[in-house]
Amino acid sequence: MLAKMMDLSEMGTLVYLLGEGDLSSDVGATSSLAIYHQSKIFEIPAIIARKDGRMIAFQFKNPPEEVLRDVQGKLIRMEIEWMRLSRRS
């Protein structure tokens, strides 16, 4: 299932599901998220925290240190990109 990441933090992420269909798992169910960052895909165990249509909030569940470093790296890259784009305005 593909989704667009709307928000990301060290604690979790909010995604928008692309295409038709609905995530059949209920709130509280465990899942595994695959996130792409710098030509690498890493997986994060997560719990579905909230669902509203195609919007789903996931809370990360005890991610390994290596994965946390990947998330922090992605957050830094996102902040740099945001700063670059905001200067253009």
Domain range holding 51? Answer: 3-88
**Per residue in 5-61, pLDDT tens?**
999 998 999 999 987 766 778 999 999 999 887 888 889 999 999 999 889 999 999
pLDDT at 39: 86
pTM, two decimals, is 0.81
Domain count along the chain: 1
Quick one: average pLDDT of 69-80? 88
CATH number at residue 50: 2.40.10.220
| Angstrom distances, CA of residue 28 to CA of 24, 32, 60, 69 | 12, 13, 12, 25
